[in-house]
Structure 1
Amino acid sequence: MVCAAYLAIVFITTRGLIAAPRYRQFQGRLGDARTRARILAAGSCDDPVRAAELAAVTSRLDDLENNGTVAWRILPRSWAVAIPLSKLAAAWRVLHGIERRLLRLQRPEEKREQLRALQLRLEGSALPGDERLAAELARHPADGPEADTLLLAVAEHLHDREDTASEQEYEQQRTALWLATTGLGVALLIGVAFDHRLPMLLGALGGFLSPLIGVMRSQRPASWGVLVLAPVGGALAAVAGLLLVRMLADPELSVLGHVFLDNAWTASTRPVALAVALLFGFSGTLFSRLALTATGQLVSTPPATGQQP
């Protein structure tokens, strides 16, 4: 039940809370593009080629607003119930292409304004290469075919950079979702097979507290992937750590004290074992060090003893 509830929370967060701000920006830009298309269409009645291009743009904008193209809705005009990240990323690429097409159809004075706005944006950016692009825009005249070509090229470069960054972020989120789903399945199997549900629950609590305390200390938000995977990884690290503690506390190895022999894998509900599970979930470094210690015990060989004369 806990695993199913956590998976539902992760799914809702991915399809709703994370995608919703980006989707609202998409809707705003979509409305701006539609407004520009209408303004351009009003002055293109005597140009059939230009009117046909604007009609194609308007049709493409209509496609982006259809139910299921970007967001899943119960009814065509009701609230969005799910916003798949892959669809949202693809829709942004389409919208950026529409914006560049509208930019090409704008009047010369509007293109000059756009060129100046891009130049100021690049001059104020700290990203590598933007200062060089701003200087390139400043060297060229603001009118003529060359300026139009440069304007479209810079706009395409910025759009592609934005889309690539968003797609990489979405890919990381999909990876985190897959790992969380797989980890929850493994945790469920371990809990049923070995009856270690309580230690895993405390390990998940430790995994949740670790990024939470980090955010409180640094006052900076942690990545979504870390927040999602930390409780799942904490639960698995807790049960695996108790098994390693039992191994290292064995009298044949005696790496850990005798107190851990009866407060580990075989007695996972005792207070000491539960505290150890919480620590393993909280600190990935603790689990890594213990795993390295156990590995060293496995690969080490006793020194050879000489024959007695």
Structure 2
Amino acid sequence: MTELLWIPIPFTLCALYFTIVIVTSRGFIAAPIRRVLDKEEARCRADLKVLVANCGNQATATVVQSSIDSLLAKPPPPTTPSGKKKKRSWLFESPLTTLYPDTQAMNEAKRTLVELIPADALDDYAEPLFLRLDAVDPEAAKTLREQFKSANDDASRRMLIRQVHALCQAQSENELAAELENQRIALWLAGVGLLFVFTLSLGTHAHQPSLLLGAIGGFLAPLVKINNGQRAASWGVMVLSPVGGALTAIGGLLLVRLLSDDKVNVLGPVLRDNSWEHPTTALALSLALLFGFSGRLFSKLAIAGTSQLTGSND
């Protein structure tokens, strides 16, 4: 079995999984957010068109339209030497790095629309925003509502509406920033983890089945939770689980060997003969699957190994 799993196979598996990671990042994480942004942009431009048409001050309308066009402007698509537009795959249309600044620009464009709202409609325009802010930050909503009622001129009222709108949008912006940061960290860890998996598979051919079974165990962990009706894990966890499972399988077999050594003798000779030095036995492969499935099992053994080493040093 181990003779079949030579260099091309682990390389191919790691390359295929890295491709899956990239497709997941762009297709299942970035693309849905991009579609929402596109819909919001279309709605914002439609509102802008109506407000500009009904605005009595064309100078203000021109300035606002220019500002929003600048905020929502997209870089021109790449072209061929002959000047034709290149067709880009959907896979490269939505990198994670552009989603947060594009969301900020979209929110700023929405806030800018208040400059075109007629003065006699500012109260009606502001009320839904105050209600949204009241659900997020009641104290700020109360303070700003009082300032809005006491404002003497339209410019101050519009400024306060923009402030309220910004506070309403801040929570979703912060949540998006945190989510995207977690996804970037997960992608980095997945890439580095795959490099470790590939290196280990080359250096220890006998442990290639253990790596594979650990990855399968890592894949099964979130799958079992979903089948049991538990809340689905985040995309970051889903991406990392198989990679982490492969690495914890190898680490777990090493820990079993440590804790079953004659000088430590915590787990006994049975596991010593079915761990690191004999990774292709049925028991060792079962352990690899379990370690990949349960990170908690690996953590408990690591704590036990640490306590043994600390005790021996004392």
What's the TM-score bracket when you normalise by the shorter of the two chains? 0.7 to 0.9
Asked if 1:85 corresponds to 2:92, the answer is: no
Separation in structure 2 between the aligned mates of residue 302 and residue 76 of structure 1, nearest angstrom: 65
Alignment pair present for 1:121 and 2:129: no
User: Which of 133, 143, 147 matches 2:157?
Assistant: 147
Alignment of 1:22 onto 2:29: no
Aligned residues of 2:193 and 2:243 also touching (Cα < 8 A): yes
C-alpha root-mean-square deviation of aligned residues, in Å?
Answer: 2.6
TM-score for both structures, normalised by structure 2 = 0.84
Matched, 1:172 2:152: no
Counterpart Cα distance in 1 of 2:110 and 2:76: 19
8 Å CA contact 1:235–1:281 kept in 2: the answer is yes
- What is the correspondence of 1:193-232 to structure 2 with a 5 Å cutoff? 193-195=203-205, 196-232=207-243
Structure 1 position 285 matched with structure 2 position 292: no
Contact 2:218-2:243 within 8 A present in 1 as well: yes
Q: 1:79, 1:236 → 2: CA distance?
A: 33
Residue equivalent to 1:235: 246
Q: In structure 2, what is the equivalent of residue 306 of structure 1?
A: none
Distance 1:302 1:107, change over 3 A: closer
Per-residue CA deviation, residues 201-234 of structure 1 (Å, 9 max, x unaligned), is 1111111111222233343121122111111111
Corresponding residue to 2:195 among 185, 189, 201:
185
Aligned with 1:253: secondary structure?
coil
Structure 1 segments, 4+ long, off by >6 Å, are 76-79
Question: Corresponding residue for 1:266?
Answer: 277
Instruction: Indicate conservation of the 8 Å contact 2:133/2:167, yes or no.
Output: no
In 1, Cα distance between equivalents of 2:29 and 2:231: 17
Q: How many residues align?
A: 293
Give how far 1:104 is off: 2.1
- Give the conservation status (yes or no) of the 8 Å contact 1:45–1:51: no
Q: Distance in 2 between matches of 1:117 and 1:24?
A: 25
What's the % identity of the aligned pairs?
Answer: 35
Tell me, yes or no, if the aligned pair for 2:210 and 2:279 is still in contact at 8 Å. Answer: yes
What CA distance in whole angstroms lies between the structure 2 residues aligned with 1:276 and 1:79?
Answer: 42
Distance 1:33 1:221 in 2: 33
Pick closer, same or farther for the CA change 1:149–1:197 going to 2, 3 Å.
Answer: same
Residue 50 (1) aligns with residue 65 (2): no
TM-score, reference length from structure 1: 0.85
Are 2:144 and 1:132 equivalent residues in the alignment? Answer: no
SS at 2:91 equivalent: strand
Is there any run of 5+ residues in structure 2 with no aligned partner, and where?
1-11, 79-83
Aligned mates of 2:120, 2:223 — CA distance in 1: 51
Output the CA distance in 1 between the equivalents of 2:313 and 2:199: 37
Q: Which residue of 2 aligns with 1:6?
A: 17
> Which amino acid letter does the alignment assign opposite residue 175 of structure 1?
I
SS in 2 for 1:265: coil
C-alpha distance in structure 2 between counterparts of 1:78 and 1:179, whole Å: 27
2: CA distance, partners of 1:42 / 1:77 = 35
* Cα distance, 1:182 vs structure 2: 0.3
**Structure 1 counterpart of 2:36, one-letter code:** Q
Q: Deviations over 1:222-255 (max 9, x none)?
A: 1122111111111101011111111222223222
> What stretches of structure 1 of length at least 5 have no aligned partner?
69-73, 304-309
